[in-house]
Amino acid sequence: MLLVPARLEPQKGHCVLLEALPHVLREFPRARVVFAGEGTLRKLLEEQTQRLGLGQCVRFIGQQSNLEDWLALCDFTVLPSFYEGLPLAAIESLAAGRPMVATAVDGSAEVVLDGKTGITVPPGDSVRLAVAICQMLSDPESRSLMGQEGRRWVLRHFDEREQIRRTQELYLSASLLACNAMNSPHQSVQARIEKLRVTSTQIGERE
């Protein structure tokens, strides 16, 4: 099962995914797609679904407060956006160990690393999107490895303790720069920042 965790708005590219699905179903007729989200395009997307004969494989479930349960059920996620900031949906997907097929737009491409935590394709290209989805469906082993790497990536970059440590280091580094003229005039700022970095790392390891 493929999960699309995104608002039903033009930005998110659901229409491109629907155009790609007939190609996918020719290779994988049992594939199912769940759209988790609400938005202004719901009626139009439902009409497109029926027009393309996809009523048996596409389900619209609206906004979900228990998205983690749907992530646990799916094989991977899809985010065919035309543009993004830093997509929380991609981070949540990888944190759940689910790789993502996404468009290579700013934001998404920072999280979905092509061939490592998922597969990226050009925005608006339904053919390339279909190929990527088929690739993901056809290789459960690679899909599992990408999911594992995605979870490790999120833990490295978004772990709460790591974020706290980095924030503390930033503030302390700024304080050192501000006090440079008054403290340890013979020790360079760079040397003190490096000492601070090592100390912060040691504290993090003890935690």
3-class state of residue 77 by DSSP: strand
Largest CA distance in the chain: 75
pLDDT, residue 203, reads 47
What tokens does 152 get?
A: 């490790």
pLDDT, residue 70, reads 97
In this predicted model, what pLDDT tens digit does every residue of 26-35 receive, in sequence order? 999 999 999 9
Distance, CA of 48 to CA of 22 (rounded, Å): 12
The answer, as to whether pTM is greater than 0.85, is no
Q: What's the fold here for domain 2-158?
A: Rossmann fold (3.40.50)
pLDDT, residue 188, reads 58
Distance, CA of 118 to CA of 69 (rounded, Å): 20
List average pLDDT for each run of 10 residues in the chain, which is 207 residues long: 97 98 97 98 98 97 95 97 94 96 95 97 98 98 97 85 59 64 55 57 50
Sorted by where each begins, the domain ranges of the chain are 2-158, 160-206
pLDDT, residue 206, reads 46
